[in-house]
Structure 1
C-alpha cells in the first residue's frame, strides 16, 4: 500500500466539518492529478459515506449508478432498484435512509461531468440544502472538481445557486518543494530538487520516479519510453477537458520554448489574437497556465502581462518530448535522452531553480521572522531581468540573483547583482536588500557583507 503523504491541513478541515454540530458543505477543487480524490477517500476511511465519481455519460445512467453506490455504502439494498426520476428524488431517498450515528457524507467527485449531463443539479442541491440539510446536522456534502474555472463559477461564484452556502472550501494545490521531497527521502537534495523540476508537486508523477533509478534514468524511463504511463500523460490531461488540441499543443509548446508575451505566442503559433486569448483562458481555468507581471509594488499594467506554463511536467514535456516525438519513437528512450534532452538539461534546470527560489523566499522570510506582509515575484524591463523580487510592507525590497550552475567568482556575481538592482524602480525609496541563491556554498562570499547568501540546503532546511 502506498504511503499517504501530506495534506494534514486539508484532512483537518474535513474532520472539522464532519465533527461540527451542523451540516456541512465543502467544495474541493484543484487541477487534475493533485490528489483530490485520494484526499476524499482517505477522509472517508472508517466513516459511512457515499462516494460517487461522475463521468461523461447520460444523467439518468449516472443517477442510477449513484443509487447503487449508496445501496452498498448504507447497506440498503432496495436503493439499488429505487426508481428515482430525478436527482431530487434520488438524494432524498438516500438521505432519508440515514439514521446515524454522525453525519452521512455525500461526496460527488468529478462534479463538472455530472452537471454537464444535468444542468439542474446545482439548483437541486441548493433546494435540498436550504429546505432540509442546513437545518440539521445530518449531512456533509462534498463537491469535488478538477476544472478550476467551472468550480469557481458554478459552485463558488455569485451567479451559482450554491453561492454563499459553503461552510468551508478547500483548494488542493500541488505539493510544495519541501513536501514533494518526502517522496524521495533517500536522494540527495540536488536530486530531489531536480525531480521537483520535472514532476512538480503532483503525487502521481513523483511516485513514478523510482528511488532505485537516477533522475536521468527516471526521465528516460517515464517520459521518453513510449510505453510508459507518463509518456502521453499531457495528451490525456488535455483531451479530458479540451477540444481543438492542435491549437493548445502549439500554444503550450511556444510557452515551454520561452515565449511569454501574447504577441510572441501568436507569432510562433499562427493563432490569431482573439482565439489565442480564448485558449489561454481555458488553460488558466484548468490551472496549467498563469499570468505574471513585473513586481514593483504598484498595480500591474495590462500591457506588461506575460503568460507562463505553471505545470512542471507539461513544461518539460512540451520543451523536450513533444517537439521530438518522431525521434523519440525511432531512436528509443536512451538515445533520445542523450541527444535531445541532456544537452539542454542544465540550462532548463537553471530556469526551474529561479522558480524554486521564488517559492522558497517565503520560507526564508518565515525563518527570519519577517512580520510584514510581502509579495514575491520577478521583475523585467528592456534593460534588466531580475530573477526574484520580494516587496515587503515594512518598506524593504529584496533583489535576488539565482545560480544553479557553478559560480566561478563571488565578487563578479555580487557586482552583477548590484548592477541589476540599480535598474530596479524604487519610487518610494524603500530599503533595498540583496540576496543570492546558489546550489552550493560559494567561496569568498563573506567578502560581500551587504549580500545575504542562500543555498539549496537552506531552502530545504525545516
Structure 2
C-alpha cells in the first residue's frame, strides 16, 4: 500500500478524534487531486466501517441507489436492501447499520465529495443535519469525516453553516498541495530520484499536487516528464485545466476569466482591476467568486506594504494553471519533444523567473527559517509604485525589513552593473516613498547562490538558496 507522505499536522488532527470521548464531525476540504481522500483512508483504514462518495452531476435517485449499494457491500450481503426513497430514509438505514458496531468500538464513516450529494432539491443537507443532531452527535464512539473538493461550498455550507450544522464541525482541515520538501519526499518514495533543481522544475509546472506527481516515471528527467504529461496526445495534463475548474465551480467560465486575467498580470491585480479585466460586475457575486478561488487554492492574496484591505492584491498561485495558460493552451506544436525544445526558449526563461517567485512566496516560512528570523513576528507583504516593484518583503517587529529579490538560474546568479543600479534604485524608491525608518536588508533568493563580485559585496546582506526551500 502506498505510504502517506508528509501531512503530519493533518494526521495528528485526525488521530486525535480516535482518542476523543465525544462524537467527532471532521471536515476536510481542498482543491481537486490534492489527496484528501487518500489522507482520510490512510489514517482511518482500521476504523472505517462505511464509505460513500457523491457523483458529480448525478440525480438524487442515482445517488440514493449508490448509497444503498455501498451499504450492501459493507454488510457483504447478496440480498440488497430496498433503495431509500429519501435521504432521511437513507440515514435511518445507516443508523441501523452503525448502532451495533458503535457499542463495541470506535467507528468512522466517510462521506467523500460531500458537495456533490447536495444537489438542489435533493434534501441531502437537511437530512444530514438531522442525522447528526438527533443521533450522531450523541454517539461517543462515532467519527464522521466529510470531504469535498469544492472548498468554497464546504466552507459556506458546512464549516460556516448558519442552520442545523452551525458550530457542529469539531475539526477542520484545509488540505494544501505539497511543499517542496514533501514533493521531494513523495517522489523519492516512488523511486523517482531527481535532484532539487530538477524537482524545482517539476514543481514549477505541476505544483505540489500528488495526483500529478504520481505520473512521473522513474528514470525521467523533469523536462521529459513535463513533455509527456503536458504535450503528448494522451498526456494527463493536456485537458486537465477545463475539467479542473468545471468540476469545482458552477458557471466556471467566470472563474476561468479571472484566472486568465491574473495569469496575464504576474504582479497581481486588485479587486477593481480584476473586475475590469475579467468583465465582471462589482458586488457580492464577484466577492464570492474571488473567495472561492482563494479557498480552493488557485489564487492567493497579498496586502501591499502600508496599505489596507481594500488594496489587497490577488495573484494566481496554482502552478499548473500558470503553466497551462502560458505553454499548453495555445501551443502551436505538440507531440513528443515539444517541451524539450521549448525549455530552451526565451519565453521559458521569462516564465521560469516568475514561477520561481511564486514558489518563494509559498515558502516564506522556510525563507524566514533560513534567515534566522522564524521567531520574530513578521508580516509578509508586497509593494509596488510607478517606479519600482517588490514581490516579497518581510516587515519585522525588530525594526528591520528584508527586501527579497528572487532569481532562478541554472548556475550561480551574477549581479551585473545594470542590475546593481536597478536594485539600488529600488531600495531608494522604497525608502523615500514609504518613509520607513527601519533598516533595510537586501536578501537574494536564488537557486545556486550569488557569485561574489563588487556588486554583491556592496548590496547583498543575506542569501537564501533553493536548498533552504526544501527544509
Taking structure 1 as the reference length, what is the TM-score of the superposition? Answer: 0.87
Please state how far the C-alpha of 1:447 moved relative to its aligned partner. 2.8
CA RMSD of aligned residues (A): 2.9
**Correspondences of 1:336-375 after superposition (within 5 Å):** 338=341, 342-367=345-370, 368=372, 370-375=374-379
Deviation of 1:450 (Å): 6.2
Cα distance in 1 for residues equivalent to 2:86 and 2:252: 35
1:344 CA drift (Å): 1.4
Distance of aligned partners of 1:246 and 1:340 in 2 relative to their CA distance in 1, 3 Å threshold: farther
Task: Give the count of matched residue pairs.
Answer: 452
Give the corresponding residue for 2:448: 440
- Which deviates more, 274-283 or 12-21? 274-283
**Most deviating of 193-202 and 406-415:** 406-415
Please point out which of 219, 242, 260 is paired with 1:212.
219
- 1:456 aligned onto 2:463: no
Could you say what secondary structure the match of 2:363 adopts? helix
- The answer to whether structure 1 residue 421 and structure 2 residue 427 are counterparts is yes
> Where does the alignment leave 5 or more consecutive residues of structure 1 unmatched?
none
C-alpha contact (below 8 Å) 1:224/1:337 kept by paired residues: no
Could you tell me which of 328, 332, 337 is aligned with 2:335? 332
Q: Which residue of the partner structure matches residue 202 of structure 1?
A: 209
- Report if the CA contact (8 A) 2:357-2:406 is conserved: yes
Matches within 5 A, 1:93-132: 93-98=93-98, 99-100=100-101, 101-116=104-119, 118-132=121-135
State yes or no: 1:60 paired with 2:61: yes
Contact 1:377 1:388 (C-alpha < 8 Å) held by counterparts: yes
Give the structure-2-normalised TM-score.
0.86
Find the aligned partners of 1:448 and 1:210 in 2 and give their Cα distance.
Answer: 45
Alpha-carbon shift at residue 180 of structure 1 (Å): 1.2
Counterpart of 1:9 in 2: which secondary structure?
A: helix
Q: Is the 8 A contact 1:30 1:171 kept in 2?
A: yes
Deviation of the 1:118 alpha carbon = 5.0
Q: Secondary structure at the match of 2:168?
A: coil
CA distance in 2, matches of 1:458, 1:41: 32
Shift of the 174–351 alpha-carbon distance from structure 1 to 2, 3 Å rule, reads same
SS across alignment from 1:85: coil
Q: Distance in 2 between matches of 1:318 and 1:218?
A: 18
**Residues 366-375 or 35-44, more deviating:** 366-375
Q: Distance in 1 between matches of 2:251 and 2:25?
A: 35
1:94 Cα deviation after fit: 2.0
Which whole-Å CA distance do the structure 1 matches of 2:319 and 2:125 have between them? 34
Q: Does 1:307 align with 2:314?
A: yes
For the structure 1 residues 250 and 91, does the alpha-carbon distance in structure 2 shift closer, same or farther, using more than 3 Å as the test? closer
C-alpha deviation, 1:319, in angstroms:
0.9
Q: Which residue of 2 aligns with 1:42?
A: 42
For structure 2, the residue ranges without an aligned partner over 5 or more in a row are none
